[in-house]
Amino acid sequence: MNRRVLLFIPFVIFVGLFFLFNWGMDQDPTKLELARKDQPVPAFVLPDLHDPSKTLNQEIFKGKVSLLNVWATWCPTCRAEHPYLVRIHETGQVQMVGLDYKDEREAALKWLNDLGNPYDISLSDQEGRFGLDLGVYGAPETYVIDKQGIVRYRHVGAVDDKVWKEILLPMVRKYQKEGV
Amino acid sequence: MNPKRKQRMLIILFVLGGVGIAIGLALYALSQNINLFYSPSQIAAGEAPKDTLIRVGGMVEEGSVERHKDSLKVQFNVTDFQHTITVRYEGILPDLFREGQGIVAMGRLRDDGTIEAQEVLAKHDEKYMPPEVQRALDKAEAAKAGE
Amino acid sequence: MIPEIGHYSLVLALAVTTLLAVIPLAGAWINDGLWMRMGRPLAYAQFLLLAISFGFLTAAFLMDDFSVRYVANNSNSLLPWYYKFSAVWGGHEGSLLLWIMILGGWTAAVAAFSKSLPEPMVARVLSVMGIVGVGFLSFILLTSNPFLRYLPNAPQDGADLNPLLQDIGLIMHPPMLYMGYVGFSVAFAFALAALMGGKLDAAWARWSRPWTTVAWVFLTLGIALGSWWAYYELGWGGWWFWDPVENASFMPWLAGTALMHSLAATEKRGVFKTWTVLLAIFAFSLSLLGTFLVRSGVLTSVHAFASDPERGRFVLMLLALTIGGSLLLYALRAPVVKSHIRYTERSREVFLLINNILLLVATVTVLGGTLFPLIAEAFGKEVSVGAPYFNTMFSFIVPVLVIAMGIGLFSHWKDTRPGTYGRRILPLAIAGTAGGIGIPLIYGEWEWSAGLGSFIAIWLATAQLWDVWEKSSGKSGVVAGFKRLSRSYKGMATAHLGLAVTILGAAIVSSYTEERDVRVDTGTQVEMAGLTFVFDGIQELKGPNYVADQGIFHVLDEGKEIAVLHPDKRRYLATGQVMTEAAIDWGILRDVYVALGEPLEGTTWAARIQYKPLVRFLWLGGLLMAIGGTLAILDRRYRIRVKANKARTSVGESDAGGTQPAKA
């Protein structure tokens, strides 16, 4: 009988590995908790993408629920999600703010010209400082920001029909109902 | 001992001996070849050992890349926005190396407080930062917030 | 409509595969012949549906249907058609579909070539493969559906295939690799079926052997292609990086190699049964582990697919069920009866055991090095394990393995006549030492690692050729004797020589590569390895989907031009990604390798020039190993069995047509 016990060794080792992997999955950077959750958008002064002489700051988030979409022309997934953003914008249900992240201005303007501009306001963050303050891991990311300018939710990866209808839209509605 | 038992003993001894040597060797090789990661802040705080192969990561500071006039020597600053450290390197930088981009350099900390890099890595996929760089930046951010 | 048909057949495939996973197994349980016989038609139907699904995804790519999200993310209208074709497996979803289709292909192949096997065995094997299929089909349908659409607003154009993947090597590499990975599922299914049936005999090993060899051949080719691709496409001349993803393919290869040898012992002599079954489970488990590591983001790697925790979690659960379940079954059902088969410490059995132990140690070494960063992270340290760890370990394991191999080639089953080894060691040592001293000196100053590598390569090659010579010698002469050797013996010899060739290549290229990073301006001359490189400036180039700065390098040997090299620095239009495309003047004995770095000021550029002796031996050896495996599969005894099947005679237990010709 004791020889049978030896045959369990591979199984036991595998169980150990399983717990290691299971733990490792939780360390995935895309799953890390949003550092800024329920805190105000960090203060910033950034140029308007369309008119760099004009600067914008965190006041743009006051009074309206906004979707802040982080994007860049070097990001293929951004191209994939773009048509959805255009569609969401057409519904006019929420203020759309674009953050052009670590990008070249000319390329970004051409992109918006070619693919359509889904943003009510476009910020240009060429150095990625604001993105860093906000805790951006990569593009695309989409944040829900309430009327007080408080970050309520972050979605990592492309926005599509499902994400919009099932996650973002209900949240936008909820915060729109709250008074200022 | 009967031949059958002798044979079994030999095999078991052989297996145990071989596996023992292998494990010892593996532990030794691991102890020689694991490279610990340090952020610029940790290096500034004196946590990193000198003249040992370590990895350093952070963002390449804008405007800090300086090329030597007639060789492939280059130096640039890596920052976690709390502290900054100078990295010296000779050779070709990866295609995705850019100012403002997250990188990891493998090299040794020298007496003058600079890193002499053997290898500079930028991730092949531009979408995400190297995870240890991201964590270093998060830590620096948390430290700043706590001040 | 096209993506919907593809999606629909994928759903149907899941339904059919679920039946395949349940009905034949239940039939074997209750001993119902009709239920067991359902296995074959279900296996064919599953493969047909998967092939249809894959075909429609391919059609969506070739027709630039950017309304399909996966196509939009991985293709572009500017892409040449052959890259549109290979882009089908350029991302996570499509490569997973390819993986599943190949699994379906192997299942159908088992159904087609198992006519001589007992019905319950076939039923269990097909069901086990069906269970794996159900897991992965649910994975693709629930988390990674490649047929999802962007409707009604389809993008005008796609985001393009990652430029790194726009390459001939990458058209071939994943299919080959998956054929290997997934091919081990057959041996795995045979092992589990034998455990379930409680009949773990030599017949089981004989059935598993050819399948294992075929899978091993594909995996060998896949790894060699991957290394070759890394060499010219992303490595700046490196050919193996010990990257987690490379390790993920190397571990099943090591375990599979051990399995092939262990199966031989189990088939011929009925020994090591319990051990061989475990190796069969290991080989496929390590393939699954590789899939998990690449797709979960649990380890970071340059090759990894963009990580997604939801998917990672799903694969981890699949892993837990498949590997955990099979290891548990093994622990409960593997035989523990003492074997009464006798062999001495000089026998071939012992040498095959040594081979197995060393290969397993090598596998664990790679596994340990790959997972160590994760383990260290669990203890709050951020570390990486450098290539030197793996190199150090392998510079100990491989020489011991190869020296034992060289002697073991002369061994016999049961016992070997005393003195057989003794009289061969000295000549082999002399040949090895001559090679170990002489070969490195051709390339420069003698170095330890090159000397050791050459020593073991020559030792092994000499031993193998010597053994071939002895086995061919006879009354009718060596040539006639050689012709009489069985294909499987010739295959074994070819594969062993292939290993010697690869080792020699690795030893020489690692020690004697000359490499310089230089600043070049028009007219700059660089002298290296007896060659003169003249930089003749940059020309602009426009490819189908990129623009490039192309350098012109004239390579002169004693004033005579031997090659003009054109390395590119490309910028891909759709993504703006910058790529280095090296230029190589290749030869059997040496490669000359030039790559452009970044532009400095004015017309000055950084460039890397390399001279790499014997680098082609690395892949030539891999090719020889694959040819050897193929020869072994083409052995007469397998064909005899096919003929015998046609005559409706079952094959008896005495099928001992042997890798070894009868010994005098």
Query: Residue C306 pLDDT > 60, yes or no?
Result: no
Helix (H, G, I), strand (E, B) or coil at C341: coil
The domains of chain C are located at 1-166, 178-368, 396-512+619-631, 514-614
Strands (E), C398-469: none
**CB C598 to CB B93 under 8 A?**
yes
**pLDDT for res C224:** 95
Helix (H, G, I), strand (E, B) or coil at C592: strand
User: pLDDT digit string (tens) for C262-291?
Assistant: 999 999 998 899 999 999 999 999 999 888
Distance between CA atoms of C315 and C288, rounded to whole angstroms? 9
> Is C142 in CB contact (< 8 Å) with chain B?
no
Measured in angstroms, the CA of C374 and the nearest CA of chain A are apart by 7
User: pLDDT digit string (tens) for C575-589?
Assistant: 777 888 899 999 999
Whether omega for the bond prior to residue C399 falls within 30 degrees of 0, making it cis, is: no
Q: Which residue has the tokens 């030869």?
A: C587
Q: Which of B5, B23, B72, B108 to mutate to test the interface with C (most CBs of C within 10 A)?
A: B72
CB pairs under 8 A between A and B: 34
Query: Residue B123 pLDDT > 80, yes or no?
Result: no
Average pLDDT over residues B14-38: 83
User: pLDDT digit string (tens) for C474-499?
Assistant: 888 888 999 889 999 999 999 999 99
For residue C646, what are the CA distances in angstroms to A151, C378, C651?
73, 58, 11
Q: Which of residues 45-104 of B touch C (CB under 8 A)?
A: 53, 55, 67, 70-72, 90-93, 95-96
Which of residues B138 and C383 earns the better pLDDT score? C383
Closest residue in B to C385 (Cα) is B34
Closest residue in C to B53 (Cα) is C386
Distance between CA atoms of C81 and C63, rounded to whole angstroms? 10
Tell which residue, C306, C87, A68, C308, has the closest CA to residue B127. Answer: C306
**pLDDT for res A33:** 47
Q: How far is CA C41 from the centre of its chain?
A: 30
Whether omega for the bond prior to residue C152 falls within 30 degrees of 0, making it cis, is: yes
Query: Residue C337 pLDDT > 80, yes or no?
Result: no
Contacts of C336 in chain A (CB under 8 A): 3-4, 7
Average pLDDT score, chain C: 88
Tokens of residue C435, six digits: 């090679």
- Say if strands A95-101 and A66-71 run parallel, antiparallel, or are unpaired: parallel
> Is A53 in CB contact (< 8 Å) with chain C?
no
Structure ipTM: 0.83
Burial C153-183 (b: 16+ CB within 10 A, else e): bbbebbbbbbbbbbbebbbbbbbbbbbbbbb
**pLDDT for res C642:** 53
**pLDDT for res A137:** 64
Tell which residue, C328, C195, C192, C278, has the closest CA to residue A12. Answer: C328
- Given B62, B101, B134, which is nearest A29 (Cβ)? B134
Helix/strand/coil (H/E/C) assignment for every residue in C356-406: HHHHHHHHHHHHHHHHHHHHHHHCCCCEEECHHHHHHHHHHHHHHHHHHHH
Q: Which residue has the tokens 């990561």?
A: B57
Instruction: Report which DSSP code applies to C149.
Output: B
User: pLDDT digit string (tens) for C26-74?
Assistant: 999 999 989 999 999 999 999 999 999 999 999 999 999 888 888 988 8
Helix (H, G, I), strand (E, B) or coil at C179: helix
**pLDDT for res B147:** 46
Q: Helix, strand, coil % (nearest 5) of chain C?
A: 65, 10, 25
Contact C534, C552 (CB under 8 A): no
**CB C392 to CB B25 under 8 A?**
yes
**CB C389 to CB B53 under 8 A?**
no
| Angle made by CA atoms C118, C119, C121, in degrees to the nearest 5 | 70
What percent of chain C shows pLDDT beyond 70? 93
Highest mean pLDDT among B132-136, C300-304, C606-610: C606-610
| Angle made by CA atoms C12, C15, C21, in degrees to the nearest 5 | 140
Contacts of B18 in chain C (CB under 8 A): 357-358, 361
Distance between CA atoms of A132 and A112, rounded to whole angstroms? 24
- Given B123, B126, B132, which is nearest C382 (Cβ)? B132
Tokens of residue B70, six digits: 């007639």
Distance between CA atoms of C385 and C373, rounded to whole angstroms? 7
Contacts of A87 in chain C (CB under 8 A): 153
**pLDDT for res A30:** 42
Tell which residue, C89, C81, C110, C250, has the closest CA to residue C170. Answer: C89
Distance between CA atoms of A101 and A71, rounded to whole angstroms? 6
- Given B100, B135, B138, which is nearest A127 (Cβ)? B100
Distance between CA atoms of A70 and C444, rounded to whole angstroms? 55
User: pLDDT digit string (tens) for A28-75?
Assistant: 444 444 556 677 888 888 899 888 888 888 888 888 899 999 888 766
**CB A10 to CB C327 under 8 A?**
yes
Closest residue in C to B34 (Cα) is C385
Contact C449, C395 (CB under 8 A): yes
Distance between CA atoms of A83 and C479, rounded to whole angstroms? 71
Of A127-136, B102-111, C468-477, the poorest mean pLDDT is in A127-136
In chain A, count of helices (H) and strands (E)? 7, 7
Closest residue in A to C154 (Cα) is A83
Closest residue in B to C398 (Cα) is B22
